[in-house]
């Protein structure tokens, strides 16, 4: 009789035949071994064991429906969907996997490319669906008048760039009308993939995401589950310039005195933990941004500091599309079951809910602000309590497309010749923070069941806005101080050819363009009329949300 994968795993792990262990425990041990030694042989054995386990669980497993909103990213979408297809080929989830791509592109050629890709993936055997803009309009036309916060005010001829949150809400309306059996809906972003090691030379499938998600929902009372991301940060470049300049100054300080010396950036490094990239990490209860991180040089073989600086300089332009060259979040393996804990933030690019969770549309979606996930999370935390959880089930986040080194499309970031304009992104970030911290205070006072009377909502947002404005000013001052140090280091070098530093000087010009007092975004944030207008809009939205939430739940229920 042929040896089963589980028998082979027992032998590989050095377990005796007398040692009693169930399949779940054996898989957990095999995962630990794979994380310690991510060899191709162990990866194949792990996948074979997961397939054997799946064969026993078909009668009870959930169907996983992976939902991918996409706007003008055909190449990045291909990486995403191919990784999902490869994941399903390797693990063969017991309940099956379906996929829904939801269109939000402006470019008609990109829409066609997305549709063609979905057909290609479907022809390869994955249950794949494509929700085009015409079908979306048919869904929302009779509803948007009563759900403007969730759906915005769209037009049939202008259904592109509605925003990721509105697009996700439209996807939920479509999902509510489908007849999936025992579904779990997994929302991800189009710039993410299902392999999890950001430093690996080849894709490594080190987690059976579908099986873990299925088991967590089967063995715990969960309505909404959120994961996180590894690799590139899930935040805006508007709030990362300070930490990058901090690290760049440290790199130049170490490298410039001996540019021809062997590279000294290959020591042991702990990597950048959660939030380490964020200039205002302390605002969210994190302190990782205060320290300088040892740069992990990606070059192999013998090379000098000049080689290191040249390679790093070539990556600096990617920062404005969302990469952080010195603070990449590594995959830090943690047992999934024991990682389960109460959540307060939704990572909208990696979260899962059951059919009941469809009632939790993304609030304030039409405002197109950042921090939609954390805002939703605070509302879920109050409503669901222990049924809103987080677990160590990361996806790999890649802001830039590998072949070009840039994002295909990034809302709020405009490339204008040699300039990169972050003003739209910066404003979306500030007002998104205003929305989030205002909601935190409102929830603490009993919202949405209890709404402050009179103009107290406006007063609350005004107070929050003043505090945030102070935080933003402090960070900008720090950025400009670090930028001045950075520019002095570049101007004061005498041992390196000047052309080596042109990418660094260009980076400095772009930071100054976006953070200096005369920058468009800074002028907007400092304008009382700008803040007053957004406070008014947020107050109106806060008052209208409870009735629209009830209407939303009625429609998807």
- SS3 track for 246-300: HHHHHHHHHHCCCCCCECCCCCCCCCCCCCCCCCCHHHHCCCHHHCCCCCCCCCC
If asked whether residues 306 and 383 sit together in one domain, one would say no
- Give the model's pLDDT for residue 267: 79
What pLDDT, in 10s, does the model give residues 521-556?
999 999 999 999 999 999 999 999 999 999 999 999
- Report helix, strand or coil for 426: helix
If asked whether residues 227 and 242 sit together in one domain, one would say no
- Give the model's pLDDT for residue 493: 77
- Domain termination residue (choose one: 343, 371, 397): 397
Q: Identify whether 15 is part of a domain.
A: yes
Among 108-122, 206-220, 272-286, the minimum mean pLDDT is found in 272-286
Helices (H), 423-527: 423-444, 456-492, 502-515, 520-526
If asked whether residues 150 and 193 sit together in one domain, one would say yes
Q: Identify whether 406 is part of a domain.
A: no
Pick the residue with more confidence: 403 or 292?
403
Q: Identify whether 486 is part of a domain.
A: yes
DSSP-derived pairing of the beta strands 395-397 and 192-193: antiparallel
The secondary structure of residue 87, as a DSSP letter, is H
- Give the model's pLDDT for residue 1: 38
What pLDDT, in 10s, does the model give residues 506-528?
999 999 999 999 999 999 999 99
What pLDDT, in 10s, does the model give residues 293-311?
788 899 999 999 999 999 9
Q: List the domain range (segments joined by +) for residue 40.
A: 1-56
Domains: count for the chain: 3
If asked whether residues 244 and 322 sit together in one domain, one would say yes
Residue bearing tokens 């997994």: 186
Nearest of 349, 323, 343 to residue 243 by alpha carbon: 323
Q: Rounded distance, CA 364 to CA 457, Å?
A: 16
Q: Identify whether 407 is part of a domain.
A: no
If asked whether residues 263 and 200 sit together in one domain, one would say no
Q: Identify whether 202 is part of a domain.
A: yes
- Give the model's pLDDT for residue 18: 74
If asked whether residues 10 and 68 sit together in one domain, one would say no
If asked whether residues 445 and 459 sit together in one domain, one would say yes
Report, as an integer, the average pLDDT of 254-268: 90
If asked whether residues 76 and 5 sit together in one domain, one would say no
What pLDDT, in 10s, does the model give residues 358-402?
999 999 999 999 999 999 999 999 999 999 999 999 999 999 887
Q: Rounded distance, CA 344 to CA 341, Å?
A: 10
Find out whether 166 and 151 touch, Cβ atoms under 8 Å.
yes
If asked whether residues 96 and 205 sit together in one domain, one would say yes
- Domain termination residue (choose one: 368, 397, 426): 397
Q: Which residues of 355-388 are buried (b: 16+ CB within 10 A; e: fewer)?
A: bebbbbbbbbbbbbbbbbbbbbbbbbbbbbeebb
- Domain termination residue (choose one: 56, 76, 92): 56
Asked whether residue 27 carries a pLDDT value surpassing 70, the answer given is: yes
Asked whether residue 275 carries a pLDDT value surpassing 90, the answer given is: no
The secondary structure of residue 141, as a DSSP letter, is T
If asked whether residues 38 and 82 sit together in one domain, one would say no
What pLDDT, in 10s, does the model give residues 395-423?
999 998 877 888 999 998 999 889 999 99
If asked whether residues 372 and 228 sit together in one domain, one would say yes
If asked whether residues 32 and 90 sit together in one domain, one would say no
Q: Identify whether 403 is part of a domain.
A: no
Q: Identify whether 405 is part of a domain.
A: no
End-to-end C-alpha distance for the chain, whole angstroms:
51
Beta bridge partners, 342, equal 389
CATH code assigned at 362? 3.90.550.10
Report the chain's mean pLDDT, rounded to a whole number: 94
Find out whether 330 and 230 touch, Cβ atoms under 8 Å.
yes
Q: Identify whether 343 is part of a domain.
A: yes
DSSP-derived pairing of the beta strands 63-70 and 192-193: unpaired
- Give the model's pLDDT for residue 342: 98
């Amino acid at each position: 009789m042929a040896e089963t994968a589980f028998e082979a795993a027992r032998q590989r792990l050095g377990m005796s035949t007398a040692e009693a262990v169930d399949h779940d425990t054996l898989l957990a041990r095999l995962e630990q071994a794979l994380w310690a030694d991510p060899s191709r042989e162990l990866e194949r054995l792990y996948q074979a064991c997961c397939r054997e386990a799946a064969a026993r669980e078909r009668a009870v497993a959930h169907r996983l429906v992976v939902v991918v909103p996409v706007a003008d990213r055909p190449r990045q979408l291909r990486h995403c969907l191919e990784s999902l297809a490869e994941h399903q080929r390797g693990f063969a989830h017991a309940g099956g996997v379906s996929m829904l791509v939801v269109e939000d592109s402006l470019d008609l050629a990109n829409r066609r490319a997305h549709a063609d890709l979905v057909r290609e993936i479907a022809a390869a055997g994955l249950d794949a669906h494509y929700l085009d803009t015409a079908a979306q309009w048919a869904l929302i036309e009779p509803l948007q008048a009563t759900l403007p916060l969730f759906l915005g005010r769209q037009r049939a001829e202008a259904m592109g760039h509605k925003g990721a949150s509105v697009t996700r809400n439209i996807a939920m309306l479509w999902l509510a009308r489908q007849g999936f059996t025992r579904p779990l809906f997994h929302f991800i972003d189009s710039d993410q993939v299902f392999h999890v090691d950001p430093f690996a030379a080849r894709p490594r499938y080190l987690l059976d995401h579908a099986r873990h998600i299925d088991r967590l929902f089967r063995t715990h009372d969960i309505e909404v589950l959120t994961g996180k991301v590894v690799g590139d940060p899930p935040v805006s470049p508007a709030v990362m310039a300070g930490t990058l300049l901090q690290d760049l100054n440290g790199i130049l300080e170490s490298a410039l005195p001996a540019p021809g010396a062997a590279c000294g950036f290959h020591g042991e490094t702990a990597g950048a933990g959660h939030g380490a990239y964020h200039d205002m990490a302390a605002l969210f209860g994190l302190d990782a941004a205060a320290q300088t991180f040892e740069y992990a040089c990606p070059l192999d073989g013998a090379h000098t500091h000049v080689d290191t600086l040249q390679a790093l300089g070539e990556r600096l332009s990617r920062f404005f599309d969302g990469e952080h060259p010195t603070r990449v979040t590594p995959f830090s393996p943690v047992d999934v079951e024991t990682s389960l804990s109460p959540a307060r933030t939704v990572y909208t690019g990696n979260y899962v809910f059951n059919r009941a969770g469809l009632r939790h549309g993304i609030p304030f979606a039409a405002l197109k602000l950042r921090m939609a996930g954390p805002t939703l999370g605070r509302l879920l935390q109050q409503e669901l309590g222990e049924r809103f959880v987080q677990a160590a089930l990361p996806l790999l986040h890649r802001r830039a497309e590998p072949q070009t080194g840039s994002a295909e499309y990034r809302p709020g970031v405009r490339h204008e010749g040699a300039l990169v304009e972050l003003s739209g992104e910066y404003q979306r970030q500030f007002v998104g923070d205003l929305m989030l911290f205002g909601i935190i205070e409102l929830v603490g006072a009993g919202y949405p069941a209890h709404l402050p009377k009179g103009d107290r909502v406006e007063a609350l947002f005004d107070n929050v806005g003043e505090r945030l404005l102070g935080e933003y000013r402090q960070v900008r001052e720090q950025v400009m101080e670090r930028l001045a140090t950075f520019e002095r280091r570049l101007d004061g070098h005498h041992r390196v050819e000047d052309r080596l530093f042109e990418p660094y000087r260009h980076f400095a010009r772009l930071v100054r363009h976006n953070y200096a007092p005369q920058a468009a975004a800074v002028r907007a944030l400092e304008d009382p009329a700008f803040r007053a207008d957004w406070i008014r809009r947020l107050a109106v939205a806060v008052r209208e949300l409870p009735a629209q939430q009830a209407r939303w739940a009625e429609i998807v229920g």
